Structures are given as C-alpha cells and as structure tokens.
Structure 1
Amino acid sequence: MNRRTFLQTSAATAAMFARDGHATMSARSANDRVQMGVIGPGSRGKEVLRQMLHVPGVEVVGVADVYEPRFAQADAVAERTVFHTKDYRELIARPDVDAFLIATPLSLHREHLEAVLHTGKPVYSEKAMGFTVPDCQGIIAAARRSRSILQIGHQYRYAPWIVASMERIRKGEIGEPTHVYAYWHRNNDWRRPVPKDDPNGKLEHLINWRLYRETSGGLVTELGVHHIDLANWIFGGQPTHVLGTNSIVRYRDGRTVGDNTQCTFLYAGGKRMVFSSLTDNAKQGNEFWVYGTEGSVQFTIEDAVFYYEKKKPLPKEANATVVEHGVETGASYSTGNEMPYRGPGDKVQVTYIDPTLACASAFFAAVRGGAKPLANAEVGYRAAIACAVAHDAVFTEEKTPIPALPVV
C-alpha cells in the first residue's frame, strides 16, 4: 500500500467510525504527533506496532520486554533505535510517552494495564483484556477509575465487511439472529521455535506461553475471543454460561492446554454460540456463521456473504405421502429443502482494510479527538470474562456460570 492509498484509507476508516459516534478526527488533529511506548514487542506486538506506524503522526519512542532479543526486532520495525528496558515501569515513567501498546502474555495484562491506567495516559491492549475472573474484574474497576482511553484490540469490530454486515443484521435482513457457529481450524502445532540453549526450559515457557495452562486460556481464549466478541455484538450482551471440552489428541509435546477445543456459550433467550478449534485439520479455517430466522451470514477474515432462507413449504396433511428418489414415504419423513445451499450468495461489497490497521486508526482517532473507542473496556470485559470461565470449564466439562459486567 503506498502513502496516498493509505491516507485515503485511513481517512475513510476514521469517517466510518465518526458516523457511528465512536471516534472523531479532524484534519488538524490528524497531524498531531503521538509517541508510543510498547510493553511486549513480541510476535503480535510487533505486528500491531507495524500497523500503528502506518498511521500518520505516530512514532515509537521506547519498548519494554524481559526478553532482550525483542529490542533489536522492535528497532527493525521502527526503522531506528528506540529506548529499551527490561523493566516496564521505567517506560511508564518516561514523560515523552503519550500512549501505550500492551501486547504481553495474557497472564500479565492486569499488572501492566492497571499500571498504565493509573498514569491517565491512553492505552491499547491486546485481547483478551484479562486472564482470570479476578483479573477481568480488577481491570474494569481500574478502567472506570481512570480518565484514560482504553481500547482493546478486537480488530474485527473495525473490519469494513463486518461493520457493513452488522448494519444489515441490525436492520433485520436475516430476521432474528438465534445461533452463531464459529470455527478456527488450523493444521500446525501452534508452537514457536525456541533457542537450543534453554537448559531450564525458561525460554520455552516465555516464548510458548500460549501452550501452558498457567499462562494461557488455550484455543478458546487465544482464538475464540474474537468470535465471542462478535457474538456478544450480535446478541447484544455477554453469555450467561459455558460448557465445553478439550483434549490433547495429537501434539503430545508437554503442553497443558488442549490441541483442540469445543465450547457452547449460552445467551439470554435460548440463543447459542458454538465454537470449535482444531490444530490438526484446517478445513473450515477461520469462519463465523450467523444464523437468523430469515437468513445467514458467513464471515471470514477477508469478506462476508449473505444467504437467505427458502420459502417455507406449506404443511402437508398428517396422512399424506411423498415420493423421493422413486420411494414413497410419509410426509413427515420428507427431506425436502435439507440439501445445503450451494449458490454464490450475496457478497458484501466494501473496500478491504486490514482489521488491525483499522483498529489502530480508530485508537489514534480517539486519542486525538477524545471520543470513546468502540472496543472499550466493557466490550473487552464481556469477551474476556467468557474466556476466563471457559479456561476451566473445558477441563471440568460442566455447565459453568459467567459473571456479568459489574454495575457501576
């Protein structure tokens, strides 16, 4: 993407959120410089930082990480040498940092978020917002005490094809949404390479923290949090209960979270979200299906397609018969209209914008204009709390209640 294209895209993104009242950005404020401090420039942190640096007027001035090789990697993304420290408190104390990106392992989010929120400076935190139930409750309390902007990195809330689809869903295009089926299937072991010189296994747990139960919510959190957030958006609230399961079926390499998981999240009014994640078969990939009384929508990480229900056939008399494939059966046994629809559907027509870039653009629009982010602390809580409960529910395999958002 060249600079002209990016500036046009960035302006369009800001305008889209301004229409919904989520953010505003004037031509003057778009030129204001924002100096970023990054806590946790690891794999995801570098990608978010890379997208942030595409936003005009944004630069990084310092990074904090306990793993020193990250410093050179962050410098490469910044294309210059920035301030480095292994103690995040030194970075927080710097007066030249205007806003923060937190992309540390999930189990550290509460510590880092509460410290930054206490400064009153804006912060963009990767999802999930918190790891445990007390973490989520502590973070939402800290966010409410603070006057700072907090945006959670639920980037698909900013993807143009999802934003456009949500508007059509709200207008009743697929009737009443009743079910969500979400998949994130891959065919790899979800493991990252570790330097060979790791006699105590310290680097293994530092780099592959997502594979261990004491630091990770497993697949349902690291991947499913995206889908839970979208289901919350569609159903207008968080789930009340979850039941699920997980197991290690293929990658027996010392990990303590499952290499597959299946969960059902229960919402008010009998509505449901079903989530499945595999690491040994990539069929389905990342798909999110919304089923309504009049139609369905399929989201992927690049597009969305609407499908519509066929007209319902008139009910047949109790003693009526039908002939299917040359065989006469009772009317109640008829399988008519049960073959899957295989047509092209109605693809949502929008200009593609990388969701992380759109999310970052909205964050800086909020920082410059003072508007409340769409993916705010309450949005982050409702998704993270479901994951925090599911973290244990997939091991107990029991229906488990999910705490509601605390009342102010």
Structure 2
Amino acid sequence: MQTNKSFSRRDFLKTSAFAAGAVPTILSAHVKEIPLRKPGKPVAPSDKIRLATIGMGIIGFIDTWTALQVPDVELVAAADLYDGRRARVNEVFGKDVFTTRDYREIFSRPDVDAVIISTPDHWHARLAIEAMQAGKNVYCEKPMVQKIADGQRVIEAQRKTKKVLQVGSQFVSSIVYDKAKELYKSGAIGELNLVEASWKRNSAIGAWQYSIPPDASPQTIDWDRFLGEAPKRPFDAVRFFRWRNYSDYGTGIPGDLFVHLFSGIHHVLGSSGPAQIISAGGLRYWKDGRDVPDVILGLYDYPKTANHPAFTISLSTNFVDGSGGEEGIRFVGSEGIMTIIGDSLKLARRGLYHPSEKEVVEGYNSVRTFSQETREKFAEQYHAQMAANPVRPQLEGSSEYKAPEGYDDRLDHFHNFFAAMRTGKAITEDAAFGFRAAAPALLTNHSHLEKRVIGWDAENMKMVS
C-alpha cells in the first residue's frame, strides 16, 4: 500500500489527474463525476442469501429495504419487540416473512444466512456475538458496542467463528470517501494538520423526539426483553421509542453521529485512532427528560503513523443550531483543503503564502524596527538568498467531484457485505475497524462525564488513563 510519507507537492503532481504534461500555475475550477463501481458477476441461484433483521425501527426498515436491492437477497425473518412494527414488516415485505419478539428463534433457523442488527445500542455486542456463534454473518449497525469492555469480545468472536461482520457506517464504502482517500494519498493537500467535522440539526425529529404510537403499552411491547441488561424500571413508552436520549440504552450524539465521522475519517487517512480525547458540552435546549447532551464538542489528538503525520480532529454537533442544520468534513493540509459535504468532494489548493522581497523588507515585519544600517545589511543578504533559492510559483485553484445523481453509499455498503459472504474477500469495516471507530466516540462520553482527558492506545485498542 502506498503511504503518504513525504506529503509533498511533488508527489501530488506526479500522481494527480491534474498533472498532465507541464505543471500549471493555475488550476481551473471544474466538476467531475465520480464513476460508479463496476457491477459484480451474476449470482447463481444456489448463492441466494437469506436475510433476517433484528430491530425494525427507522434504520431497521431502511437497512432492510436497501439490502433487498442487492440481487439475490431475500428477507425471510424479522424480530421486533413492538407488535405494530412486526405487522408493518408483513405489510411492506410480504406475509411470508416470519416475525417474532424473540431473536433466538431467528438464530435457530437454518434458512437464515445473515442478520442485520438494528436494535438499541445496548444490545449490539450481545446479539452480534450470539449471531456469529449461531453461524450467521452479521451486519451490525453502528456503534458496534455500547461499552468499551465489549469491543474485544466482538473481535474475538469474529476471529473464532470466521463469520463476516460488517459495521453499518456506510461512509467506508462510499465512492466519495474513496476519492478523498485517493487524493489524500497523492499528496493533494500537502501535510495534514487538522480535520474539522460537524453535524448540525434543528428539529425535534433530528433531536430524536420520534413519534410514539397510540397503542404503545405493556401488552404490545416486550418491555422486559427491551431492557435486557440495562437497569430495571417500570414500562415507559418514551424510553422505548426514544431510546437514543438515554445512556442506559444508547450512546448519545457521539455514538450516533461522531462514529460515522470517525469511520469516514479513518478510512480516508488509513488511521487507527487517537491517543488523547477531550470533550465538553451539555443539555442546552431539549430538556425533555433525556440524560445526554444536545450540544457536544470533542478534540482528538492523533499520533504520527506511516499513513499520516500527527494531527488533531475537532468534532461538533448541535441539536439546536439556528442555521437549520448541516454536516461536513474538512481535511486541512499545508497546501490545500478537502471538504466532503454529502455526495460532493471539493479540493481547494492554496499553498503556504511566500511574501515578496519587498514585503519582507518594507512591509509588516520586524525588519522595519531594525536600525538603518542593519536593515540595509539584512536586505542585501535576503536578496542574495532569494536569488539563490527562488520561490516556486504557487499552485492555486479548486476542483469538485460529485457522485452520480441518486447515488446511495448504504447500497454500496451492502454490496460489499454480501460480496464478502459469497467470495470470502476481506472487508474494511470489520470488528476491529468498527471498534476503533466506536471507541473514541464512547470515550467522548467518558471525557464529558468525568471532565478529563482520556488516553487511548488505538493500536492495541485499550484505555491507558
């Protein structure tokens, strides 16, 4: 694998699509469509994959519908703890789909090849481990685990069972993020020093105030099974349908949104994770009984590796942002910036500014405070220095890349998952990758609650302070 050790303009000009013939001084702005991946080979009828989904909430339905767009994938079963969702499964996907409250009935079915786990976070690790031990391949929604202690357990289960496990952060399969990875490795932004990313919202649904059905009751919901290993408490429909608002079942903003950002950033940079984590935030607006922040920021220091220099990540999310909501990632380097917003990637290049000789000697600089004799001597020496080492013309300009209209990176993610099942090909977002993305997100919560810097050994995947 090519590594970005030199981070130089020279390497960029050697490998970039911009470098055709002579080196231009100015790059004209233009938009290029990122090509789709070539479709896979036709699948034999014997290779049909039979799928089941555990957890038919919003993402459970989206994941299932998307997975079924892949040729020769069939939904045979679904589990959910609310009767209404199981009824909806049969309305949408057909009456032949088996439904149950008890996920163990799905694991015991010999006709289930793979399961989508789209439950509240506190069930992810347990279900993923039990599914692999039952011989099922697993597509586990992010974050892979709710607790740091469970990460190695999932990794070990995947190693022992040799089943495919892919975590559901689809940025890792996106052609947009693949293009960013290509540009970064070519040296397009020079030496990386900072990554800034944000995810802003300004709506009740965006803040997880999901609608509660009028028939929600202990009769229509298996409340005790929902709680699982979480603290016991009386039935509460709000906690069931808005579980992301509570640390007993979810992982707050970091586990829902930051984990996507970590996954995408790690994929682009070939990074394993940060060494230090610190966060701040609080509950500023949505004071509806939730116990997690609606505004949170995190800073993450990444050490130098073979794939990248030392750099810092700044992440922020605000659930009451008056701008109306936006999201994006900026990769900042010494010679340019890459910005990803949705299915668009923009590269803007403007290297370090080199002042002219006149600006150095006569402009806003300390030279103007020297004595006249010293100024003249400095000017003479500087002129000779510049004559011997002239500054190269600055390369400026911008370029934009877009995915084709209607592109869906979630669909590509499922293509990769099922291809790994059929061919045995390794996937990027396996249990180790998933834990390395989940861990800094979970430790963001630890830092916020404990009001301290958290140390993390990303290579060995363990806390160090």
2:170 is aligned to 155
Question: 1:277 and 1:31, CA in 2 relative to 1: closer, same or farther beyond 3 A?
Answer: farther
Distance in structure 1 (CA, Å) of the matches to 2:45 and 2:412: 15
CA contact (8 A) 1:318 1:331 kept: no
Aligned partner (choices 375, 378, 403) of residue 432 of structure 2: 378
Q: Name the amino acid aligned to 1:348.
A: Y
Distance in structure 1 (CA, Å) of the matches to 2:38 and 2:100: 33
CA contact (8 A) 1:381 1:405 kept: no
Q: Name the amino acid aligned to 2:281.
A: N
Aligned partner (choices 266, 271, 275) of residue 315 of structure 2: 275
Q: Is the counterpart of residue 110 in structure 1 residue 128 in structure 2?
A: no
Structure 1, 246-255 or 74-83: larger mean CA deviation = 74-83
Matches within 5 A, 1:124-273: 124-189=139-204, 190=207, 191-196=209-214, 202-233=236-267, 234=269, 236-269=271-304, 270-273=310-313
> What SS does the aligned partner of 1:356 have?
helix
CA contact (8 A) 1:13 1:361 kept: no
Matches within 5 A, 1:250-399: 250-269=285-304, 270-281=310-321, 283=323, 285-310=326-351, 312-314=353-355, 320-322=361-363, 330=365, 345-352=398-405, 353-399=407-453
CA contact (8 A) 1:385 1:403 kept: no
Q: Name the amino acid aligned to 1:240.
A: A
Matches within 5 A, 1:13-28: 13=37, 25-28=40-43
CA contact (8 A) 1:185 1:282 kept: no
Q: CA deviation at 1:77?
A: 3.5
Q: CA deviation at 1:229?
A: 1.5
* 1:147-204 CA-partner distances (Å, limit 9, x unpaired): 1011111201112122112111111111122211010000023111123566855221
CA contact (8 A) 2:332 2:338 kept: yes
Q: Name the amino acid aligned to 1:264.
A: L
Q: CA deviation at 1:406?
A: 4.1
Q: CA deviation at 1:308?
A: 0.6
Q: Name the amino acid aligned to 1:229.
A: S
Q: CA deviation at 1:349?
A: 4.3
TM-score (norm 1): 0.85
Q: Name the amino acid aligned to 2:401.
A: V
Q: CA deviation at 1:405?
A: 4.7
CA contact (8 A) 2:76 2:97 kept: yes
Question: 1:405 and 1:146, CA in 2 relative to 1: closer, same or farther beyond 3 A?
Answer: farther
* 1:182-237 CA-partner distances (Å, limit 9, x unpaired): 10000023111123566855221111110011222111110110111122231522
Q: Name the amino acid aligned to 2:449.
A: F
Question: 1:311 and 1:150, CA in 2 relative to 1: closer, same or farther beyond 3 A?
Answer: same
Distance in structure 1 (CA, Å) of the matches to 2:37 and 2:420: 12
1:100 is aligned to 115
> What SS does the aligned partner of 2:346 have?
strand
> What SS does the aligned partner of 1:402 have?
strand
Q: Name the amino acid aligned to 1:99.
A: A
5+ residue gaps, structure 2, are 1-34, 218-233, 305-309, 369-395
TM-score (norm 2): 0.75
Distance in structure 2 (CA, Å) of the matches to 1:364 and 1:249: 42
Q: Name the amino acid aligned to 1:298.
A: T
Distance in structure 1 (CA, Å) of the matches to 2:340 and 2:367: 34
Aligned partner (choices 83, 88, 111) of residue 68 of structure 1: 83
Q: Name the amino acid aligned to 2:251.
A: G
Distance in structure 1 (CA, Å) of the matches to 2:260 and 2:367: 40
Question: 1:197 and 1:100, CA in 2 relative to 1: closer, same or farther beyond 3 A?
Answer: closer
> What SS does the aligned partner of 1:225 have?
helix
Q: CA deviation at 1:26?
A: 3.0
Distance in structure 2 (CA, Å) of the matches to 1:241 and 1:275: 14
Q: CA deviation at 1:310?
A: 4.0
Q: CA deviation at 1:393?
A: 1.2
Q: CA deviation at 1:286?
A: 1.0
CA contact (8 A) 1:321 1:331 kept: no
* 1:69-104 CA-partner distances (Å, limit 9, x unpaired): 111222233244410111100111001111111111
* Alignment RMSD (CA, Å): 2.6
> What SS does the aligned partner of 1:392 have?
helix
1:4 is aligned to none
Question: 1:144 and 1:14, CA in 2 relative to 1: closer, same or farther beyond 3 A?
Answer: farther
Distance in structure 2 (CA, Å) of the matches to 1:197 and 1:367: 40
Question: 1:118 and 1:346, CA in 2 relative to 1: closer, same or farther beyond 3 A?
Answer: same
5+ residue gaps, structure 1, are 1-10, 16-24, 323-328, 334-342
